[in-house]
Amino acid sequence: MTSPWREPADRTVSTSLYALDARTATDHFPGIGRYVFHLARALDAQLAEDERMAVLYTPAASAWRHALCPRPWRRAACVAVGTSPFGPAQQWRLPRLLRSLGAHVYHSPYYLMPYFPGRPTALTVYDLIPVRLPKAVSRRARLLFRLTLGAALRVADAVLCISDHTRRDLLRTFPHVAAKARTVPLAAGRRFRPLPPEARRAAAERVGLPDRYVLYVGSNKPHKNLSRLVRAWAAVRPEGVVLAIAGAWLPAHGAPRALAGRLGLEPRHVRFVGPVPEELLPGLYGGALGFVFPSLYEGFGLPVLEAMACGTPVACSRIGSLQEVAGGAALYFNPFNVDEMAVALERLVDDAALRATLRARGLERAAQFTWERTARDTLAVYRQLAAV
C-alpha cells in the first residue's frame, strides 16, 4: 500500500512505525476516547525524525474521531479500519493491517483487541471495577471481563496503568504481569483552564443553571454513588444553590433521579443536566461554587483533575486513586457515609476562605499532570518494545 507518511529526509535512516488503535474514539467510549485523542496529539508532537505513527480509526465512528481525523499531523497519519473493537473480524483484519503497514509496535487502549497481533504490544488498563466492585456489574459481565482482560494481558508486552491505584488492583488479580506493568498517569486537556466570568456565565446559561451551583460531572453508573450524593444534598439544601448533575444518563440506572423526585429536590435544589458539549465543560466547571465527586471507585478520576485545572474547589471521596490525583488539594469525605458527605458539601458552600485555599492548591496540583508527560512516558514504552 502507498505510505501516507512523509519519509525522513535521510533515506538511510531506519524508520520505526507505531500503531495507536484509536477505534475507541467514539461516543460509546467517552473516557477512553478522550485518552486516545489527547495521547495521539501529544505523541505526534514528540516523535523523532525517524519515527512515524499510524492512528487506526473506524470511519463510521463519531465524537472524538471527528476532531482527531482528519487533522494536521506532524509525523502521524490516520488509517481507516473496517471493524470495531466488538467485531470478531478484528482478530484477522488488524494483524493483516499491521503487517501491511510494517508496524513495529501496536498499542491497544482497550482489552477487546486482536489477541494475536503479531507485533510487540502495549495495553492500557484503566480500572478493575468488575473485580473490585462485583455488585456493580452482572455475573456475565464479570466473567467476560476476566476472560478478555486475561487474554489481553497475555498478549501485552507492556501494560500501562493510569494510576498506581489501578496498578495495585491489577496485580492483586493478575500478579504475573508485575514485570511489565507500569504507571503512566493522565492529564487534563489544554482547554481546561480558568476562564473569564462571561464565559462561565454563558456556559451555565446554556445548560439552564443559576449563578450558584455545585457541580458533578460523570455517568450515573452505580459506582458513581449518586444516590448517596442526592441524600447528602437533601440534608444540606443550601438556599439559592443548586446541585447540578451533568453527564451521560443511562436509563437502567435512574434511581438517583427517582430519589431526588421523592425527596422533592428537583428542580429547585437538584438539576439533572445530562450530557454537556465538550466545549462547554471548562466554563461549567469554572462557574461552579465547587465540584463534588462521590465515586466509590475510580481508576484515575479525570473530572477531579479537570475541575482543579479550571480553578474549581473540589470535594471528593477518600479513595486511593482520587487521593493520588488530588493530593492535598481536595476536601475529602467517606463516600459510604452520607452525613460526612453532607458536612463536606456544607463546608464547600459556606466557607469562602476554604474555597479560595482549595482553588489555589487545585491549580498548582493540576499543573503537575500534563499530556506531554503522558506521551513522553508512553513513547519510552514504544521505543523499548521496538528495540526488542
Does residue 107 form part of some domain?
A: yes
Residues 263 and 153 in one domain: no
Burial class (CB in 10 A: 0-12, 13-18, 19+), 345: buried
Residue 8 lies in a domain: no
Of the listed ranges 70-79, 95-104, 148-157, the least confidently predicted one is 70-79
pLDDT higher at 75 or 12: 75
Domain CATH number, residue 330 = 3.40.50.2000
**pTM (2 decimals)?**
0.91
Establish if 11 belongs to a structural domain. Answer: no
- Say if residue 129 is in the same domain as residue 215: no
Q: Is the confidence at residue 65, as pLDDT, over 80?
A: no
Q: What is the mean pLDDT of residues 60-79?
A: 75
Question: What per-residue confidence (pLDDT) applies to 209?
Answer: 96
Biggest alpha carbon–alpha carbon distance for the chain: 72
Residue 2 placed within a domain:
no
In the block, which residue shows the cell 456475565?
140
Does residue 178 or residue 8 have the better pLDDT? 178
Q: Are residues 215 and 268 in the same domain?
A: yes
pLDDT at 59: 79
The predicted structure's pLDDT at residue 4: 58
Q: Are residues 111 and 206 in the same domain?
A: no
Same domain, 27 and 114: yes
Please compute the mean of the pLDDT values over residues 288-312 and round it to a whole number. Answer: 97
Co-location of 28 and 171 in the same domain? yes
State the pLDDT confidence band at 293, using cuts at 50, 70 and 90: very high
3: in domain: no
Give, in degrees to the nearest 5, the angle at Cα 163 between 159 and 166: 70
pLDDT of 158-178, one tens digit each? 999 999 999 999 999 999 999
Number of domains in the chain: 2
Kindly report the number of other CB atoms within 10 A of residue 339's CB atom: 12
Q: What is the mean pLDDT of residues 278-292?
A: 96
| Integer Cα distance of 119 and 310 in angstroms | 40
% residues pLDDT > 70 (the chain): 94
The answer on 202 and 157 residing in a single domain is no
Which DSSP helix (H) or strand (E) runs through 349?
helix 338-350
The pLDDT value recorded for residue 151 is 97
Q: Is the pLDDT of residue 378 over 90?
A: yes
Average pLDDT over residues 120-127: 97
pLDDT at 2: 45
Lowest-confidence segment of 26-35, 160-169, 379-388 by average pLDDT: 26-35
Q: Under a CB-based contact definition with an 8 Å cutoff, are residues 348 and 289 in contact?
A: yes
Residues 78-101: pLDDT tens digits? 998 988 899 899 999 999 999 999
- Range with the lowest mean pLDDT among 11-25, 139-153, 220-234, 359-373? 11-25
Residue 11 has pLDDT above 60, yes or no: no
Assigned domain for 299 exists: yes
Considering the domain architecture, whether residues 66 and 215 belong to the same structural domain is answered as no
Is residue 10 a part of any domain in this protein?
no
Scan for cell 457515609, then name that residue.
Answer: 337
What would the mean pLDDT of 371-386 be, rounded to a whole number?
Answer: 98
Residues 123, 209 share a domain:
no
Question: Comparing 69 with 352, which gets the higher pLDDT?
Answer: 352
pLDDT category of residue 358 using cuts at 50, 70 and 90: very high
Name the residue range of residue 26's domain. 16-187+370-386
Report which DSSP code applies to 207: T
177 and 223 together in one domain: no
- pLDDT above 50: residue 6: yes
pLDDT at 162: 97
**Alpha-carbon distance 322 to 336, whole Å?**
15
From residue 168, give the alpha-carbon distance in Å to each of 70, 194, 355, 387: 37, 34, 32, 28
- Decide: residue 100, CB within 10 A, 0-12 exposed, 13-18 middle, 19+ buried: exposed
**Same domain, yes or no, for 167 and 237?**
no
Residue 9 in domain? no
Q: Please say if the pLDDT value at position 1 is more than 50.
A: no
Do residues 287 and 327 share a domain?
yes
